[in-house]
Amino acid sequence: MVMARHWYASAPVVDGLHLLDVPGFWAAHLADLSEGFPTEAFGVDAADAGAALERLHDQSAWPVFTVPLAGGFVILLHYNSGEEFTTTDYFLMHRDWSASRALVLTSGDQDRIGPGLCWPELAALLDAPAEAAGVTDPHARLLLLLPVLGDADAPLAAVDAVVEALVAQGAPPDCDGLAAQLLKGHPMWGAETWTYDTDERSWICDGEHSPRQEPLGERLPEVQRAALETVLGG
C-alpha cells in the first residue's frame, strides 16, 4: 500500500475549484495526455490555455481539487509547483484519516507512480454523493481524474463518455480523436492491463510503476475496506 509522501501543511495550497470555469483549464490540465492535439481541439485558443497553465503552475498558490466519494472517501488532486517544475499528485483519503494515511494513486514526480485507476473504477466514481462539496459535476470529475487512468482494455463506451464530457466543457462535437488519445494514459505510465482478483476484492494492475500491483486498501480495517470496495464498484 503506497502511502502519501508529500506534505502540504506548510505549502501555499489553495482551493482550485473556481479554476474549473477558467477558459482553457481543461486544455491545460490535460496537456500531457493530449500531445499532438492543438488547444482548439478543446474549443479554446492557445492564449487561454497558456494562461490557465500559468495559474495551475503558480509557485505562490498550489491548487488542490477535491473529488468527493461515497462513504467519507475523497480523491485529492494536488498541483505541486517547485522552483524547477510542477508535478501532480492524486491521493485517496478518508475523512477519518490523518494526512499521513493517504493512499497515493498517482504522482508525476521523478519516482513516476501510476496508473492508479482502471476504467470500471473510474466509471463508478462519476456520480458525486448527495450534498457533497467539491467537484460534483460528472463530466468535470471524469476529465479531472483522467490522468489517474491507465487501462489498456477500456471499452468503446469510454470514448463516448469522454467525448460527452469534453463537449459539455466546450469542445467541438467531433472530438473522438482527442477522446481516444486521452484514454491512452499519461505518458509517464501509459495504459496497462488490469485483472480483478476476487479473493482480494480488488483490481490489480500489472504496470511496473503502478501502486495498484497490490490490492487497494489491503491494510484498512474491514469496515473501511468493504466501503471502499463499494465505492469503486466492486
Q: Which helix (H) or strand (E) holds 105?
A: strand 103-107
pLDDT at 98 over 90: no
CA distance 47 to 45: 6
Instruction: Taking residues 59-80, report their average pLDDT.
Output: 95
- The pLDDT, as a whole number, for residue 96 is 87
What is the percent of the chain with per-residue pLDDT over 70, rounded to a whole number?
95
Enumerate the domain spans of the chain: 13-231
Cell numbers describing residue 140 = 468535470
pLDDT at 230 over 50: yes
- The pLDDT, as a whole number, for residue 2 is 53
194: left (phi over 0), alpha (psi -120 to 50) or beta: beta
Residue 57: pLDDT band with limits 50, 70, 90: very high
**CA-based end-to-end distance of the chain:** 18
Cell numbers describing residue 61 = 498558490
What is the percent of the chain with per-residue pLDDT over 90, rounded to a whole number?
79
pTM of this structure:
0.95
Instruction: Taking residues 84-97, report their average pLDDT.
Output: 90
pLDDT at 1 over 50: no
Comparing 78 with 111, the larger pLDDT belongs to 78
